[in-house]
C-alpha cells in the first residue's frame, strides 16, 4: 500500500519550499531584505550597540554591496551566544533572529564557517620605560625576569596565556584576572590594557585585535609595546595564531557561498578595515577545505 502525504500537509510543504528555498535565510522569501547580524553589544573592537566595531563596519560593507540595510541581534558573546542568536527563531515565528556571525575561529564547531578572511594571534603587551625596552621578541621578557627584573604580569584565567607564562618562568609575577566577569559590559582584554597603561600591571597577554585596537586608540596607548606571539611547534598548548572566518547555520550552503563570494570580492577592503582598527595581521592561512554542510 502506498503512503501519501495528506493533501493539506503536502500543500504546506510545497509552499514552504517556494517561499524559503534551501540554502537561503529562512525568513527572507524571494530575496534578502536585510543583512541580519549576530553581535555582542559591549565588545570593542569587535562590535557594540553604537556600531563602532570592525564587525559593524564589515557588516555595513557587505550590506552596501547587497543593497540592503543591516539589522542586529545583540547578545553577549559567551556561553549561549549561538543558541540565542544564530539558532534562535525570530519572535514572529518566521525564520531566525539573525543569519551571520562576522567573526569566529575558522573551524568553529557550532556553525558552518566560511573561508577565513584574516589571520592574527595573541600578543604580549608591555609598558615602555619600566625596564623592558630591550625586549624585541616575547621570549626575552622571561630572561629579564630570571635576571632579577620585578614586574606585575596580568593574566586572565582563560586562553593560552597561562601556558606561555609558565613556559617562560612568569607565574611568580602573575596578577590574576577573571576571564569572563559577571558584568557583560566588562571586556577583560580592555581592562588588562588599561591597567597596564595606568601602572597597575607592567605586562600582559591579550588577543591581538584587542591589544592592537587599544594600543592605537586608548589614551596612553603610545606608551606600550605590542609583540605578536607565534605558535610553538613543540607544544599544542602554545597555539596563539588563528585564522578567523564568518559563520552561518549548517545546511545553508547557498547563503554561505554568497558570504564567501563577498569575502573574496572585498578582501582588500576587509584588510583596510582591520588595519584601521589596529588588528595585527599575519599572512592569511587557509586550512584544507572541509564539508561542514
Q: Is residue 8 part of a domain?
A: no
pLDDT band at 92 (very low <50, low <70, confident <90, very high): confident
Residue 159 is given by DSSP the state S
Residue 7 has pLDDT above 60, yes or no: no
pLDDT given for residue 29 in this prediction:
42
Kindly report, residue by residue over 33-66, the tens digit of the pLDDT.
899 999 999 999 999 999 999 999 999 999 999 9
Cα separation, 126 vs 209, in Å, equals 16
Cα separation, 85 vs 7, in Å, equals 35
CATH of the domain at 167: 3.40.190.10
Quick one: angle between helices 253-265 and 267-276, nearest 10?
70
Same-domain status, 113 and 124 = no
Q: Is residue 161 part of a domain?
A: yes
Same-domain status, 130 and 266 = no
Kindly report, residue by residue over 152-206, the tens digit of the pLDDT.
999 998 788 999 999 999 999 999 998 777 777 888 999 999 999 999 999 999 9
Same-domain status, 144 and 214 = yes
Task: Give phi and psi for 176, each to the nearest 5.
Answer: -75, 145
Kindly report, residue by residue over 193-232, the tens digit of the pLDDT.
999 999 999 999 999 999 999 999 999 999 999 999 999 8
* Nearest CA among 53, 58, 93 for reference residue 77: 53
**Portion of the chain with pLDDT greater than 90, in percent:** 75
Same-domain status, 144 and 198 = yes
Number of domains in the chain: 2
| Structural domain harbouring 224 | 120-228
Residue 131 has pLDDT above 70, yes or no: yes
Residue in the block written with cell 600578543: 123
Same-domain status, 38 and 61 = yes
Which residues are registered as beta bridge partners of 118? 244
Residue 281 is given by DSSP the state P
The mean per-residue pLDDT over the stretch 71-82 comes to: 94
pLDDT given for residue 183 in this prediction:
73
Kindly report, residue by residue over 242-254, the tens digit of the pLDDT.
999 999 999 999 9
Bridge-based pairing state of the strands 224-228 and 118-127: antiparallel
**Global confidence as pTM:** 0.86
Same-domain status, 127 and 218 = yes
Amino acid at each position: 500500500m502506498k503512503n501519501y502525504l495528506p493533501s493539506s500537509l503536502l500543500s504546506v510543504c510545497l509552499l514552504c519550499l517556494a517561499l524559503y528555498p534551501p540554502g537561503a535565510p529562512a525568513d527572507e522569501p524571494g530575496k534578502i531584505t536585510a543583512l541580519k547580524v549576530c553581535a555582542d553589544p559591549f565588545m570593542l573592537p569587535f562590535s557594540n550597540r553604537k556600531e563602532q566595531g570592525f564587525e559593524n563596519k564589515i557588516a555595513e560593507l557587505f550590506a552596501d554591496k547587497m543593497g540592503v540595510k543591516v539589522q542586529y541581534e545583540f547578545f553577549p558573546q559567551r556561553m549561549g551566544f549561538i543558541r540565542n542568536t544564530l539558532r534562535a527563531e525570530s519572535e514572529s515565528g518566521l525564520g531566525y533572529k539573525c543569519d551571520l556571525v562576522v567573526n569566529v575561529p575558522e573551524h568553529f564547531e557550532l556553525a558552518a564557517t566560511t573561508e577565513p578572511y584574516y589571520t592574527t594571534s595573541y600578543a604580549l603587551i608591555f609598558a615602555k620605560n619600566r625596564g623592558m625596552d630591550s625586549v624585541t621578541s616575547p621570549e626575552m621578557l622571561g630572561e629579564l625576569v630570571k635576571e632579577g627584573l620585578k614586574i606585575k604580569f596580568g593574566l586572565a584565567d582563560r586562553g593560552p596565556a597561562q601556558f606561555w607564562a609558565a613556559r617562560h618562568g612568569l607565574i611568580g609575577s602573575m596578577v590574576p584576572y577573571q576571564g569572563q566577569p559577571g558584568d557583560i559590559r566588562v571586556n577583560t582584554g580592555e581592562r588588562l590594557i588599561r591597567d597596564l597603561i595606568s601602572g597597575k600591571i607592567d605586562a600582559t597577554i591579550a588577543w591581538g585585535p584587542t591589544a592592537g585596537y587599544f594600543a592605537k586608540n586608548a589614551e596612553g596607548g603610545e606608551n606600550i609595546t605590542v609583540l605578536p606571539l607565534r605558535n610553538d611547534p613543540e607544544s599544542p598548548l602554545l597555539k596563539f595564531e588563528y585564522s578567523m572566518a564568518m559563520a552561518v547555520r549548517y545546511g545553508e550552503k547557498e547563503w554561505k557561498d554568497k558570504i564567501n563570494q563577498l569575502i573574496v570580492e572585498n578582501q582588500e577592503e576587509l584588510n583596510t578595515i582591520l588595519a584601521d582598527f589596529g588588528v595585527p595581521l599575519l599572512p592569511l592561512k587557509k586550512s584544507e577545505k572541509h564539508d561542514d554542510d
